[in-house]
Chains A and B, each alone.
Chain A
Amino acid sequence: MNKTITYQIPIGPIHPALKEPVMFEFEIEGEKIKDVDVHLGQVHRGIEWAGMRRNSIQILYLAERICGICSYSHPAAFTLAVERIAGIEVPERAEYLRVIQAELERICSHILWAGVAAHEIGFDSVLFLTWQIREKALDLTEYLTGNRVTKAIMMIGGVRRDITEDMLPTIRKSLDFLKENFEKLRKVFLDDKTVQMRTKNCGILTKEDALKLCAVGPTTRASGVKKDARLDQPYFAYNELDFDYVTPDVLTGEVNGDVYDRIIVRLLEVKQSIDLIEQCLDRMPSGEILAEPKIQKLLIQLKKAEGEAIGIIEAPRGEDIHFVKLVGEEHPHSWKVRAPTYNNILPWIPMLKGEQIADIPIVAASTDPCMSCTNRVAIVKNGHRDILLAEDLHRLSVEKTRRLMK
């Protein structure tokens, strides 16, 4: 019998494997995935639209709500863009403090991801282990910013809270705890036989595909592409710190681009982040933490600013880009967010093709997708949804650019 019958399985928009709404349509033959299609657009919330009706400082707090996990990266990218437009010089101490916050967010995000990944392969014990470790990281976040998730620490021209001398022992103690437990986590993830059985040679993204599809963040680094906004276009104080691209060959000597490699990259990045925070604590100069402490004065300065700029941040999931255009009004004329997950959607297709149904959750989770970040556009006309093809999108963007240039 050579004739095989394929059948369709819909995964999503709501499915236990997916933490956020996204829709996959799979063409399955037996247990094998023949074809896959991704449908987006289930969680568009119109944040940019809301942002264009607020002033730049209000947008900081709105940008935090783009994504619960990257709640520092989004306002940071927005701030970078606005500071470039308005020519605001940030005090050096603030640049270091910003690095500390960014790396702390990376630790929280990667450990959370590790737990989710373990849950996807049915290893709930590890999920709870990672949650316990993450709890300490969140405690540290709360200690530094006053909040656990939406940190509200970013301010145009600096940060809102300083790290004083008497806070250092607590920070170092938390970092030591993280370092100790990192070793435990590394052992569970990289040496456990069942984790290896589920993640090795599964969901492979080749270096060529990663380059062709413009994957970003740990997803692309796991395929051996040396791409990291912190090193490529240094911002904050990253140019003064010692670190390097994290690729899986650092640990194993080879690059496979599979889920296992993505686990390696993220785990090593946790270690790197702890190291970066320590470097910052050691090298941080004393001084001001805000360029302009008076908000009203800052708002007036921003109101006068004109121009457009891009802010690029290496968020935990990859490169996060914010485009801002100010035209001398209270609210920005244009604000566009391109979250890292947007680039990591297309790599799903080569990763998933040829795999089994059982691999779907872990492969989908391995890029650490964040749908709320990604969904920037929804077109609903007269009650029915349309799918726009490449030509339509090109035409629309040309129209929009013309409109913006007026």
Chain B
Amino acid sequence: MDIGTVSITILTVIFGAIGVTLFGIIIGLLYKGIDRKIAAHMQGRVGPPIRQPFLDVIKLFVKENIVPDNAIPWVFHLAPIIGLIASITILLYLPIGGFPAVLDGIITSKGDLILLLYLLIIPSLALVTGGFSSGSPYAIVGAQREMATMIAYEFPLAIIIVTIAWRLSLMQNVSHVFTLSTITSIPLWNILGPLGFIGMILLLLTLIIVTPAELSKIPFDAPEAETEIAGGLLVEYSGRNLAMFYLTDAVKTVAMGSIIIALFFPYNLSPILSMNGYPAYIIDFLFYLLKLFLVILFSVTLIRVGVARLKIDQIVYTYWVPLTLLALIGLICIMWDQTIMTQFGIPSVVEILGLT
């Protein structure tokens, strides 16, 4: 590598990172507004204007930033920054809107997805540290609950990712099964037989139910539970710090949505419409936004208006027993799919439907 390519790479990463950050924040806030509007309409309310989250953030940034007397100031201030940075970093590893990930081929390794699993934990951990350091009993209860929730949903999430990577590893000519570029280039739906198809649907369902917990939304918002512990983790946060947690949440919503899209719906419109060049980029990007909207609608909005908040023991039970079982059944379906397909000569679902 000569200096020219290196500097171009560095420039791509810098501009890409800035672009992705802006994209994550703006789209995250926009979708937050849409989510609130749709939820309001479903509940028979008018709801806030869609730009409300932007106004909220602006307002929070100019408000006073209060640090409680018995907080540990440096941890208290550091936690929101770490949370925001970590959630933006997740986006750098994800293909967005038909473009490859910003860090694709630069700092990516053989284990993108595993790294993502860890990166997803960091914003939650930042919340927990922030909660513990704020020295309020409500925040401490919230932090304990957040940790329990994290432990609970990590297991089904890991099963999903391992299953997909394992199925890819069975294929010939495929290396680096944990990298996102591999996963997005070979959508599993295209190669699985009927049983595996059912397995994939089960895994998708599990991931959709893991998402609200990842994002602390009803029914899994026990760590923040407004009526119980007055906002829990965030109870002592105000002003700039609260705005940063708010942004973290918005960006994380985009990141979780993008992960679901990358794992389950990596399709683009441009090859079907046989377009290329700039129109292809535009159409793919718009299609991606549509996919993101649908994913957020189903995994966040619909769930949160339809159910009541669960207690922490019920959350842990939900993830460890029914959802883990669901994910394991999905795994077994996909595992047996290969054998059944070869033994009985069943074609893949895509071939049955004649979509190849």
Question: A residues near B, CB below 8 A?
Answer: 7-10, 15-17, 28, 31, 118-125, 127-129, 132, 192, 194-195, 197-198, 356-361
Contacts and interface: CB of A to CB of B under 8 A. Distances in A.
Contact of A122 (B42, B44, B309): B309
A125 B305 contact: yes
Contacts of B226: 16, 122
B228 interface: yes
A125 B221 contact: no
Nearest to A7: B137
B349 interface: no
Contacts of B145: 31
Contact of A121 (B45, B138, B308): B308
A361 B290 CA distance: 39
B186 to A, nearest CB: 38
Given A122-B221, A194-B219, 20 more contacts: A7-B137, A9-B141, A15-B230, A119-B227, A122-B225, A122-B227, A122-B309, A124-B43, A125-B43, A128-B43, A129-B43, A192-B307, A194-B308, A197-B310, A197-B311, A198-B309, A356-B313, A357-B229, A358-B309, A359-B311
A8 B137 CA distance: 8
User: Ordered nearest first, which 3 A-B pairs have the shortest CB separation?
Assistant: A122-B309, A123-B308, A194-B308
Contacts of A8: 137
A121 B218 CA distance: 10
Q: Which residue, of B219, B307, B313, has the highest number of chain A Cβ atoms within 10 A? A: B307
Contacts, number: 82
A95 to B, nearest CB: 38
A111 B146 CA distance: 33
B131 to A, nearest CB: 14
Interface string B143-161: 0110000000000000000
Q: Which residue, of A121, A360, A361, has the highest number of chain B Cβ atoms within 10 A? A: A121
10 contacts: A9-B138, A15-B230, A17-B228, A122-B221, A122-B226, A122-B308, A125-B305, A192-B307, A358-B222, A358-B228
Nearest to B305: A125
Interface of B: 42-45, 137-138, 141, 144-145, 218-219, 221-222, 225-230, 305-314
Given A122-B219, A132-B44, A198 B310 contact: yes
B312 A31 contact: yes
B314 A197 contact: yes
Nearest to B43: A128
A122 B229 contact: no
Nearest to A18: B227
Contact of A17 (B227, B309, B313): B227
Contacts of A125: 42-43, 305-306
Contacts of A28: 141
Contact of B311 (A16, A120, A192, A358): A358
A198 B228 contact: no
Nearest to A127: B43
A120 B229 contact: no
Contacts of A132: 44
Contacts of A195: 308
Contacts of A358: 222, 225, 228, 309, 311-312
